[in-house]
């Protein structure tokens, strides 16, 4: 374009041309430049027109990148969530963006969508941008975007809101009950709530749940990484209340903690999990038995229990029906060894002069068992003291309401009442059978009034106070009136918040027992309940699995710290069926060198 001008100057470098020639030349070049500029303007205008034509632009915005990236496993909880597209975008208000199922807001700046959300430490998130949420100016909608990521940090760093957890079944987010934290709470209904946590430090974490039960007591199960740990009792409350669930043991990494439907729905507000640097702490077991001047054999047995507690686990079986060693024999015939402990039940011994009752069997079999270095345990399903042959279940817990008993334990405070006198008669009868063991130099692990807090037996139907009064009355009668110094007293507790209220007291109890039936094929550790009972009662008493269904794997007992003094599955299917224990599990139990069988027992005489 400038060539002619250059040539002109070269040709006329010696003599100057007329001024008009300069003017004409520059005018010519100026016109050419204007034509070029006009052509470029026409091109750009035409291009823009094509872009704005709906028929021409059918390409939806494409995602270029996201922060965090899909699958990211170490995201800073303070990070900003953003998405970058290849074109300017528009955000629709009619299609909610969901973060773990909860709607969140977004803001657009040119090609970037930024999500407004508060992230919690140690939590896994799934974020979904639906297909009709993001478009370009022409209305072309981007495809659905779905990413998952996990934030870093300890569970101690924050509160885990239930409404941000994973809910299943018909569990639903609600806002009706005032005073909740966050944006709502979860009514579990018949569904489950699963929290995902990220533990940066291996160890024990104190677990708490803020809940309400609409005034009714409820029970649900606690699961860790898909394995049932324990049942949790949610007391009858109307206001928001905190349940201390105990300690969970977490390895470094991601875990799921779930509240799984058992009996009754709860309103769940949030969960906290705080790392406990102190761990589980040590026991400080009482040095001596609560019975004054206990027998030599009782002391020997108690010292044996103390010495092995926390290191070895004593195996046991329960009589079937109540006065035989059928289950122990079955275990021996199928697993090759005798359990160290066998249990009997004085269930019918207060019903006199019945030809079908084997009154002498517990002592006869118990003496033989003791002579083979075994341990003898005794339970008492105490039938209605007034009828002697009636039920021990209250009507609501009986197979049919008309077969239950309405015996009134509150009469324990009235020595003139028929009920009080009937209880004294029965205690005295039982004392006679226990005295046989005393006279033979045989100590007895004695477990009466078991599972009282459940309320299904008459001795627990009226609450804690009359039950504790009856326990103390029985203790005084057996120890001080009948002189029985061969008993080791076992109180059966649970891990509920009010368990301590039922406790007769350190002066009346040698061992704390728990009756746990976790369900079929549930051989996981029960350390949640074990450690909670240890904490509630100050670690001053031995703790035993006094009854159970599926027995925890002893290897897991050692790993998690719930080394029960002994375990004793109930009779029938709980001992023999493969759905609970069965041959395979009994052989496995006995394969551990720290599980004590009768052949490993020393003489405690």
Known catalytic residues are 451, 547
Alpha helices in 476-549 (DSSP H): 499-502, 527-536
The first and second tokens of residue 415, run together, are 């020595």
Answer for the pair 232, 257: CB distance below 8 angstroms, yes or no. no
Burial 109-145 (b: 16+ CB within 10 A, else e): eeebbebebebbbbbbbebbbbeebbbbebeebbeeb
Q: How remote is the C-alpha of 297 from its chain's centroid? A: 40
**Sequence-separated (6 or more) residues with CB below 8 Å from residue 89:** 61, 108, 110, 111, 113, 134, 135, 136, 142
CB 350 within 8 A of CB 377: no
- Cα separation, 471 vs 355, in Å, equals 30
First vs last C-alpha separation in the chain: 122
Say if residues 146 and 169 touch (Cβ distance below 8 Å): no
Q: Return the axis-axis angle of helices 3-11 and 19-52, rounded to nearest 10°.
A: 170
Whether 97 contacts 106, CB under 8 Å = yes
Cα 551 to Cα 585: distance, rounded to the nearest angstrom: 9
The answer to whether the CB of 601 falls within 8 A of the CB of 373 is yes
Structure tokens at 261: 């439907």
Buried b (16+ CB within 10 A) or exposed e, 364-374: ebbbebbeebb
Phi, psi dihedral angles at 494 (to 5 degrees): -135, -175
| Among the listed residues 359, 515, 518, the one whose alpha carbon sits nearest the alpha carbon of residue 449 | 515
Give the per-residue SS3 of 27-56.
Answer: HHHHHHHHHHHHHHHHHHHHHHHHHHCCCC
Task: Write 331-339 long-range contacts (CB < 8 A, 24+).
Answer: 331/575, 331/586, 334/583, 334/586, 335/583, 335/586, 335/587, 335/589, 335/590, 336/587, 336/590, 337/590, 337/597, 337/598, 337/599, 338/372, 338/374, 338/597, 338/598, 338/599, 339/315, 339/597, 339/598
Overall residue count recorded for the chain in this entry = 605
Rounded CA-CA distance 97/603 in Å is 71
Contacts of 125 (CB under 8 A, 6+ apart): 99, 100, 119, 148, 149, 150, 151
Taking the C-alpha atoms of 406, 410, 411 and 415 in order, what is their torsion angle to the nearest 10 degrees?
Answer: 160
Cβ neighbours around 17 below 10 Å, total: 12
């Amino acid at each position: 374009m400038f060539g002619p001008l250059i040539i002109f100057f070269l040709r006329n470098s010696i003599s100057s041309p007329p001024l008009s020639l300069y003017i004409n030349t520059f005018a010519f070049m100026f016109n050419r430049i204007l034509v070029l500029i006009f052509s470029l303007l026409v091109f750009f205008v035409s291009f823009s027109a094509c872009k704005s034509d709906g028929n021409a632009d059918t390409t939806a915005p494409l995602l270029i990148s996201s922060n965090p990236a899909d699958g990211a496993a170490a995201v800073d909880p303070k990070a900003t969530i953003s998405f970058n597209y290849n074109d300017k975008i528009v955000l629709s208000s009619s299609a909610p963006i969901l973060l773990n199922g909860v709607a969140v807001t977004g803001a657009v700046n040119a090609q970037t969508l930024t999500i407004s959300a508060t992230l919690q430490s140690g939590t896994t998130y799934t974020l979904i941008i639906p297909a009709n949420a993001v478009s370009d100016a022409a209305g072309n909608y981007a495809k659905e975007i779905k990413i998952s990521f996990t934030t870093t940090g300890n569970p101690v760093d924050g509160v885990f809101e239930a409404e941000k957890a994973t809910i299943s079944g018909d569990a639903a987010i609600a806002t009706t009950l005032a005073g909740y934290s966050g944006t709502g709470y979860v009514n579990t209904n018949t569904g489950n709530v699963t929290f995902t946590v990220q533990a940066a430090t291996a160890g024990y974490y104190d677990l708490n749940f803020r809940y309400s039960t609409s005034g009714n007591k409820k029970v649900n199960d606690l699961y860790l990484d898909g394995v049932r740990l324990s049942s949790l009792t949610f007391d009858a409350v109307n206001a928001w209340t905190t349940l201390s669930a105990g300690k969970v043991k977490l390895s470094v990494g991601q875990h799921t903690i779930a509240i799984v439907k058992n009996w009754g729905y709860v309103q769940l507000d949030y969960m906290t999990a705080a790392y406990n640097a102190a761990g589980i702490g040590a026991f400080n077991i009482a040095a001596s038995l609560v019975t004054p001047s206990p027998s030599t054999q009782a002391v020997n047995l108690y010292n044996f229990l103390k010495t092995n507690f926390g290191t070895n686990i004593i195996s046991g079986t329960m009589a079937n029906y109540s006065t035989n060693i059928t289950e122990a024999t079955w275990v021996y015939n199928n697993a090759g060894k005798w359990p160290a402990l066998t249990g009997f039940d004085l269930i019918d011994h207060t019903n006199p002069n019945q030809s079908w009752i084997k009154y002498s069997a517990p002592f006869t079999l118990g003496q033989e068992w003791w002579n083979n270095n075994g341990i003898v345990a005794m339970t008492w399903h105490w039938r209605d003291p007034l009828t002697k042959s009636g039920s021990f279940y209250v009507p609501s817990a009986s197979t049919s309401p008309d077969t239950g008993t309405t015996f009134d334990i509150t009469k324990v405070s009235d020595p003139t009442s028929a009920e009080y006198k009937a209880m004294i008669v029965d205690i005295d009868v039982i004392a006679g059978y226990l005295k046989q063991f005393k006279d033979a130099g045989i100590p007895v692990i004695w477990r009466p009034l078991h599972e009282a807090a459940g309320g299904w037996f008459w001795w627990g139907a009226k609450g804690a106070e009359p039950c504790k009064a009856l326990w103390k009355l029985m203790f005084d009668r057996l120890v001080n009136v009948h002189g029985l110094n061969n008993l080791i007293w076992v109180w059966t507790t649970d891990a509920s918040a009010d368990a301590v209220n039922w406790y007769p007291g350190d002066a009346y109890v040698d061992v704390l027992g728990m009756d746990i039936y976790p369900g079929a094929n549930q051989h996981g550790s029960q350390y949640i309940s074990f450690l909670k009972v240890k904490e509630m009662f100050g670690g001053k008493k031995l703790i035993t699995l006094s009854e159970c269904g599926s027995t925890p794997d002893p290897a897991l007992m050692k790993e998690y710290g719930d080394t029960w003094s002994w375990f004793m599955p109930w009779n029938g299917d709980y001992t023999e069926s493969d759905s609970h224990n069965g041959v395979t599990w009994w052989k496995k139990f006995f394969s551990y060198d720290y599980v004590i069988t009768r052949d490993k027992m020393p003489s405690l005489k």
